[in-house]
């Protein structure tokens, strides 16, 4: 799964997610893309599951670009632990996805196969998405 090789700080604040995507909101590489409609934190496991669904549906023909990267460490404390005694350890990595962000792009396949693959990928993600094509 995706995770940064090194970071400046081990743990980070939760932060707030408001506004829309100002970067990464247009297709840059492929002809078809999966665009986020709402904001959420998407984990590295969810990104990997969506990527596997796309490549399996495409039968490894064409090319896939992942436009999001999990760089946010999410911490959790163990179950049934009393309050206090600091922040928990890093459990998984996530990325903040804002409305309008292109999450995946693909090229080199037929339009019907691309649509089917992106529908399968959107089922693996915790947010509403829409399929965009170049020239829309």
Q: What is the pLDDT of residue 5?
A: 96
* Strand locations in the chain (E): 32-36, 40-43, 63-66, 72-76, 89-97, 102-107, 129-133
pLDDT in tens, 7-45: 999 999 999 999 999 999 999 999 999 999 999 999 999
Q: What is the pLDDT of residue 106?
A: 97
With cut-offs at 50, 70 and 90, classify the pLDDT of residue 60.
Answer: confident
Statement: residue 68 has pLDDT above 90 = yes
Q: What is the pLDDT of residue 136?
A: 72
Query: Mean per-residue pLDDT for 42-66?
Result: 96
Domains with residue ranges and CATH for the chain: 32-78+87-133 (3.90.1170.10)
């Amino acid at each position: 799964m995706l995770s940064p090789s090194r970071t400046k700080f081990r743990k980070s604040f939760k932060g707030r997610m408001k506004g829309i995507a100002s970067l990464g909101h247009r297709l840059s590489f492929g002809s078809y893309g999966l665009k986020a409609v709402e904001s959420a934190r998407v984990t590295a496991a969810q990104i990997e599951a969506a990527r596997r669904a796309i490549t399996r549906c495409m039968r490894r023909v064409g090319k896939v670009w992942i436009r999001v990267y999990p760089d946010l460490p999410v911490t959790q404390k163990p179950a049934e632990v009393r309050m206090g005694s600091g922040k928990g350890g890093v459990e998984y990595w996530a990325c903040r996805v804002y409305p309008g962000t292109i999450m995946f792009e693909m090229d080199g396949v037929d339009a019907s196969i691309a649509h089917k693959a992106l529908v399968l990928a959107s089922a693996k993600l915790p947010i509403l998405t829409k399929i965009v094509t170049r020239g829309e």
